[in-house]
A = this chain, B = another copy of it.
Amino acid sequence: MRARTNGKAGGRPGGMSRGGASIQDVAREAKVSIATVSRVVNQPTLVTEETSSRVRDAIKKLGYVPNAYAQGLSGRGGKVLGIVLPDIFGEFYSELLRGADGEARRLGYHLLVSSDAHDHGHPTRTENLAFGLIDGLALMMTEPNVELWRETLDAALPTVVLDAEVSEPGVDSVSVDNTEGTREATEHLLSTTPPDRCFFVGGPKENFDTKARAEVFCATLATAGRPCTEPQVSCGEYSVDWGRAWGRERQRGAGLKGCAVLAANDEIALGVMQAAQEAGLRVPEDLKIVGFDDTRLATLVRPSLSTVRVPLQDVGAAAVRLLVERVTDSEKPATRMKVGTKLVIRESSR
Question: Nearest residue in B to A135 (C-beta to C-beta)?
Answer: B18
Tell whether, in the assembled complex, residue A17 and residue B330 are in contact, meaning their CB atoms are under 8 Å apart.
yes
Q: Which of B77, B277, B297 contacts A302 (CB 8 A)?
A: B277
The quantity of this chain's copies bound in the complex is 2
B residues less than 8 Å from A95 (CB atoms):
89
A12–B329 CA distance with the chains assembled, in angstroms:
11
Binding-face segment, A29-37, A111-119, A340-348: A111-119
* Residue contact B18 to A132, C-beta cutoff 8 Å: yes
Q: Is the CB of A132 within 8 A of B65?
A: yes
Q: In this assembly, does A227 line the interface, its C-beta being within 8 Å of a C-beta of chain B? A: no
CB pair A4–B80 under 8 Å, yes or no, is no
Residues of B within 8 A of A128 (CB): 65
Q: Which B residues are in CB contact (< 8 Å) with A270?
A: 300
Residue A73 at the chain B interface, CB threshold 8 Å: yes
Q: Kindly list chain B residues whose C-beta atoms are within 8 Å of the C-beta of A111.
A: 112-114
Q: Which residues of B contact A330 (CB under 8 A)?
A: 12, 15-17
Could you mark each residue 90-109 of chain A with 1 if its beta carbon is under 8 Å from any beta carbon of chain B, else 0?
11011101100110010010
Q: Is the CB of A115 within 8 A of B90?
A: no
Inter-chain contact B114/A156, CB cutoff 8 Å: no
Encode contact with B along A300-329: 1 for CB under 8 Å, 0 otherwise: 111000000000000000000000000111
Judge if A334 is at the interface, Cβ distance under 8 Å: no
Q: Does A78 contact B (CB under 8 A)?
A: yes
Whether the pair B20, A133 counts as a contact (CB closer than 8 A) is no
Contact with B along A69-82 (1 / 0, CB 8 A): 11111011111100
A110 is an interface residue with CB less than 8 A from chain B: yes
Complex Cα–Cα for A84 and B155 (A): 29
Instruction: For A87, list chain B residues within 8 Å (CB).
Output: 98
Q: How far, in Å, is A237 (CB) from chain B's closest CB?
A: 15
For chain A, the count of residues having a C-beta within 8 Å of the partner chain is 75
Q: A65-B132, A67-B132, A155-B63 are in contact. Are A73 and B73 (CB under 8 A)?
A: yes
How many Å from the CB of A287 to the closest CB on chain B? 15
* Of the residues B1, B67, B94, B129, contact of A90 by C-beta under 8 Å: B94
Q: Answer yes or no: A274 CB below 8 A from chain B CBs.
A: yes
Given A17-B330, A80-B133 in contact, is the A155-B73 Cβ separation under 8 Å?
no
- 13 additional A-B residue pairs with CB within 8 Å, beyond A15-B327, A70-B132, A88-B98: A13-B75, A15-B328, A15-B329, A15-B330, A17-B157, A19-B156, A69-B78, A79-B129, A89-B98, A90-B94, A98-B115, A110-B114, A112-B113
Which A residues are closer than 8 A to B by beta carbons? 1, 4, 12-20, 63, 65-73, 75-80, 87-91, 93-95, 97-98, 101-102, 105, 108, 110-116, 124, 126, 128-133, 135, 154-158, 240, 270, 274, 277, 296-297, 300-302, 327-330
